[in-house]
């Protein structure tokens, strides 16, 4: 069965009780492919997570540089749940409700990542380093990612993660987008058209759901002398609801965050 059909069936027959706010957010994600939200974290949580990130990202024993060409252009934390346990709490009730509504109550966390990207010169940014070129991920279309901003002062012109809605992605795909870093015709201008691009320039601690398989997206380039941090939760459908009450139950560190792998 196709992934979109599977999700439609599950949403029509949810395995858990859903709330209106979750349904509204999930509906936006279904139609647009993304939704930006204030996850209403408890007081102090965002600072605690940001502090944890700042401490661990400089620790060579807990991180791995994974840039294909310039190794330290992107640095991942090897086991973010272990090093910054407070990130568990970023899956707040509004986030969980949206996931339940999107997956009809049957989903699981596939992996959790945390990374830092660095500045690239004009010359360097023409080729792939860390998702800096417009692309769609190659995951099943039922995969959903939840990004949480870890840096202050992220701007649309600067290092913001940015995306196109599903309808605009379709339009760009049909007007000359040929692949990562490769577009001709109208698509070239549409890709970076500020009227279409959705920048994730929300404050630290805010979240963005994005279906990165169905939405074109790319990392912005942090200004010279700055970096930008992000944490990301990846969700996939599950056969049954998670009754343990712990979305991270049994989750192992992501094997693709390692020397020589491609995250």
For the bound state, the minimum distance from the C-beta of residue 147 to ligand AKG, rounded and expressed in Å, comes to 7
Joined tokens for residue 118: 């660095």
Between 103 and 146, CB nearer to ligand AKG: 146
**Type and span of the H or E element at 172:** helix 166-173
Determine contact, residues 80/112, Cβ cutoff 8 Å.
yes
Joined tokens for residue 240: 């049954």
**Residue 163: closest CA among 4, 29, 24, 253:** 29
Between 142 and 212, CB nearer to ligand AKG: 212
For the bound state, the minimum distance from the C-beta of residue 137 to ligand AKG, rounded and expressed in Å, comes to 5
Determine contact, residues 90/42, Cβ cutoff 8 Å.
no
Between 159 and 237, CB nearer to ligand AKG: 159
Give the separation between CA 130 and CA 57, rounded to whole angstroms.
16
For the bound state, the minimum distance from the C-beta of residue 42 to ligand AKG, rounded and expressed in Å, comes to 25
Judged on CB neighbours under 10 Å (0-12, 13-18, 19+), 76 is: buried
For the bound state, the minimum distance from the C-beta of residue 162 to ligand AKG, rounded and expressed in Å, comes to 8
For the bound state, the minimum distance from the C-beta of residue 206 to ligand AKG, rounded and expressed in Å, comes to 14
Give the separation between CA 246 and CA 84, rounded to whole angstroms.
16
Determine contact, residues 162/246, Cβ cutoff 8 Å.
no
For the bound state, the minimum distance from the C-beta of residue 218 to ligand AKG, rounded and expressed in Å, comes to 6
Between 18 and 133, CB nearer to ligand AKG: 133
Q: Determine the distance from the C-alpha atom of residue 26 to the mean position of all C-alpha atoms in its chain, rounded to a whole number.
A: 16
Between 131 and 205, CB nearer to ligand AKG: 131
* Closest residue to ligand AKG: CB criterion: 131
**Residue 150: closest CA among 197, 118, 115:** 115
Between 103 and 130, CB nearer to ligand AKG: 130
For the bound state, the minimum distance from the C-beta of residue 200 to ligand AKG, rounded and expressed in Å, comes to 8
What are the residues binding ligand AKG (CB under 6 A)?
117, 130-131, 137, 161, 212, 217-219, 230
**Residue 177: closest CA among 124, 234, 218:** 218
Determine contact, residues 145/89, Cβ cutoff 8 Å.
no
Between 79 and 137, CB nearer to ligand AKG: 137
């Amino acid at each position: 069965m196709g992934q979109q059909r599977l999700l439609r069936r599950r949403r029509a027959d949810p395995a858990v009780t859903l709330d209106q706010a979750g349904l509204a957010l999930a509906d936006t994600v279904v139609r647009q492919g993304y939704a930006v939200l204030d996850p209403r974290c408890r007081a102090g949580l965002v600072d605690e997570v940001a502090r944890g990130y700042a401490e661990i990202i400089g620790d060579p024993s807990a991180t791995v540089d994974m840039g294909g060409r310039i190794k330290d252009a992107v640095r991942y934390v090897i086991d973010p749940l272990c090093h910054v346990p407070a990130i568990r709490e970023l899956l707040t009730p509004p986030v969980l409700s949206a996931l339940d509504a999107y997956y009809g109550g049957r989903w699981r966390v596939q992996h959790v990542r945390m990374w830092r990207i660095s500045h690239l010169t004009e010359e360097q940014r023409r080729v792939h380093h860390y998702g800096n070129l417009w692309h769609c991920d190659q995951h099943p279309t039922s995969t959903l990612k939840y990004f949480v901003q870890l840096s202050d002062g992220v701007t649309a012109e600067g290092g913001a993660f940015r995306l196109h809605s599903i309808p605009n992605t379709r339009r760009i795909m049909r007007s000359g987008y040929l692949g990562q870093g490769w577009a001709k015709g109208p698509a070239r201008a549409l890709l970076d058209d500020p009227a279409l691009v959705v920048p994730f320039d929300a404050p630290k601690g805010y979240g963005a759901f994005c279906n990165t398989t169905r939405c074109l997206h790319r990392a912005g380039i942090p200004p010279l002398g700055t970096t930008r941090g992000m944490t990301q939760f990846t969700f996939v459908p599950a056969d049954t609801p998670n009754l343990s009450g712990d979305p991270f139950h049994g989750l192992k560190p992501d094997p693709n965050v390692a020397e020589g792998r491609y995250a």
